[in-house]
């Protein structure tokens, strides 16, 4: 059956330039939306602190800044070469960042007695190997509102999930298996594939470009995502599999497209339902991005394009356990930190096992990625590491 033709339209231009895709392409000014800006920072902590000072209301600013100060100390300590304690130091850094973010975005007014909201567990014997038979129970937080009702506790994991994605933990508790969380990490993903010893294949599909489109007549805007056809063949995923497994099938469809880049054919995925705008298309651009941002993974780069985007093609059976990128990093770090704290000899076994190289890469690469991703959430801008010689 032939593919449907793409919707008639043209690339959306703002101030005579094609609008570049990012999670924050527009910024809210005092009157209307304007073009977003990218922040180059040699130290993400500076951006985070300044953002907390700007966004946090005065009554909670000192608490947020104290959490950030301690979080940065944990982070610096983790970089000092203390291998055995690194996961625990990183987890407490991430936890402090999470609590400070909840205060900064004014989701809560008090996180003083917040709990982890996660508990690590093992399947019963004989299937009780660390990591491969481990899972996390995530717990729902107190009902929404600036302060929880008396006797109800806040749970950091659920609070961060809600602040980042607008969604809460779906059950109380909800199970996240470590073998399902591990492949959700972009850097080092091929080390995870090697750790499966041929039982699984790559799941990330690189997105070559994402474009905003406009049809001025009916005042419609929408997105198009482009991936390389040979990338899908390489990882053994059909075009329909990509839509289904990456969870975008209800939002996008494949349309006919004939362009190539360096003799590589592109697959065009077009948003099914355009968004109608009023006077300015820029006012509705944030709504377009909000629909897809938690279905995309990113790597933070110090050179153009500064963010590389990916679709994660997970088996449908795993979809209930697929987390937004920041939360999967957070959850894995919690597990490793708990192992290091309570059963450090098991951490040595994990490093010596099949997924040891992946775990080492995770602890080396993900802390800085997490830091810059969180800096972007705090600043509501794309924050990237400055490439300064």
Q: What would the pLDDT profile of 70-122 be if each residue is shown by its tens digit?
A: 999 999 999 987 788 999 999 999 999 999 999 999 999 999 989 999 999 99
Residue identified by tokens 């304007």 is 34
Burial of residue 137, with CB atoms counted within 10 A of its CB: 0-12 exposed, 13-18 middle, 19 or more buried: middle
In this structure, what token pair is assigned to residue 361?
């890469």
The mean pLDDT of 142-159, rounded to a whole number, is 77
Q: What is the mean pLDDT of the chain?
A: 93
- In angstroms, rounded to a whole number, what is the distance separating the alpha carbons of residues 266 and 346? 46
Helical (H) or strand (E) element with 133? none
20: its two tokens: 């570049």
Q: Contact 38/23 with Cβ under 8 angstroms?
A: no
Give the list of residues 6+ apart from residue 20 with CB closer than 8 angstroms, or none. none
User: What's the pLDDT score for residue 35?
Assistant: 84
**361-380 pLDDT tens trace:** 999 999 999 999 999 999 99
CA angle 363, 182, 205 (to 5 degrees): 105
* Mean pLDDT, range 123-144, rounded to an integer: 91
For residue 34, what pLDDT band results from cuts at 50, 70 and 90?
confident
d(CA 68, CA 62): 10
CA distances from 159 to 87, 106, 173, 307, 370 (A): 21, 11, 14, 26, 17
C-alpha 225/C-alpha 246 separation (Å) is: 13
SS (H, E, C) 32-82: CEEECCEEEECCHHHHHHHHHHHHCCHHHHHHHHHHHHHHHHHHHHHCCCC
Cis before 38 (ω within 30): no
Q: Are 292 and 269 in contact (CB under 8 A)?
A: no
> Residue 385 and residue 363: Cα distance in Å, rounded?
19
What's the start-to-end Cα distance of the chain, in Å?
Answer: 54
Whether the per-residue pLDDT at 149 is higher than 80: the answer is no
Torsion, CA 73, CA 324, CA 154, CA 51, rounded to 10: 50
Going 86 to 92 to 95 to 97, the CA torsion angle's sign is negative
Query: How far apart are alpha carbons 45 and 372 in whole angstroms?
Result: 9
pLDDT exceeds cutoff 80 at 28:
no
Neighbours of 32 (CB within 10 A): 11
How large is the average pLDDT for residues 19-33?
83
Task: Show the beta-strand stretches assigned E in the chain.
Answer: 10-11, 13-14, 17-18, 26-28, 33-35, 38-41, 118-122, 134-138, 174-177, 204-215, 220-228, 252-255, 260-261, 264-271, 275-276, 297-300, 307-312, 382-385
Triad 347, 349, 354: Cα angle to 5° = 110
Q: Are 153 and 187 in contact (CB under 8 A)?
A: no
Q: In angstroms, rounded to a whole number, what is the distance separating the alpha carbons of residues 230 and 213?
A: 25
% of the chain residues with pLDDT over 90:
86
Looking at residues 347-372, what average pLDDT do you find? 95
């Amino acid at each position: 059956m032939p593919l449907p033709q793409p919707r008639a339209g043209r690339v959306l231009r703002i101030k005579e330039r094609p609008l570049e895709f990012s999670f924050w392409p527009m910024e809210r000014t005092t009157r209307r939306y304007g073009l977003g800006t990218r922040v180059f920072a040699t130290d993400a902590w500076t951006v985070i602190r300044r953002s907390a000072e700007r966004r946090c209301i005065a009554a909670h600013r000192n608490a947020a800044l104290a959490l950030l100060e301690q979080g940065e100390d944990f982070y610096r300590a983790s970089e000092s070469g203390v291998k055995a304690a690194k996961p625990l130091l990183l987890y407490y850094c991430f936890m402090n960042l999470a609590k400070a973010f909840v205060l900064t975005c004014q989701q809560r007014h008090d996180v003083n007695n917040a709990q982890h909201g996660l508990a690590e567990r093992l399947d019963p014997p004989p299937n009780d190997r660390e990591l491969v038979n481990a899972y996390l129970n995530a717990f729902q937080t107190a009902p929404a509102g600036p302060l929880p009702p008396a006797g109800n506790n806040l749970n950091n994991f659920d609070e961060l999930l809600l602040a980042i994605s607008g969604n809460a933990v779906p059950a109380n508790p909800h199970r996240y298996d470590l073998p399902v969380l591990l492949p959700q990490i972009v850097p080092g993903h091929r080390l995870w594939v090697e750790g499966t010893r041929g039982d699984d294949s790559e799941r990330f599909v690189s997105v070559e470009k994402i474009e905003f489109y406009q049809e001025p007549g009916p005042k419609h805007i929408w997105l198009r995502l482009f991936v390389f056809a040979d990338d899908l063949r390489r990882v053994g995923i059909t075009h329909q599999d990509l839509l289904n497994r990456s969870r975008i099938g209800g939002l996008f469809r494949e349309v006919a497209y004939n362009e190539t880049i360096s003799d590589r054919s592109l697959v065009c995925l077009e948003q099914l339902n355009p968004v109608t705008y009023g006077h300015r298309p820029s006012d509705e651009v944030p709504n377009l991005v909000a629909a897809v941002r938690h279905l995309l993974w990113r790597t933070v780069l110090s050179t153009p394009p500064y963010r590389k985007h990916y679709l994660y093609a997970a088996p449908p059976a795993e979809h209930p356990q697929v987390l937004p990128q920041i939360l999967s990093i957070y959850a894995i770090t919690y597990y490793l930190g708990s192992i290091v704290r309570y059963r450090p000899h098991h951490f040595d076994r994990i490093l010596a096992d099949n997924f040891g190289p992946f775990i080492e890469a995770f602890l080396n690469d993900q802390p800085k990625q997490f830091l810059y991703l969180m800096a972007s959430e705090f600043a509501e801008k794309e924050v990237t590491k400055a490439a300064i010689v």
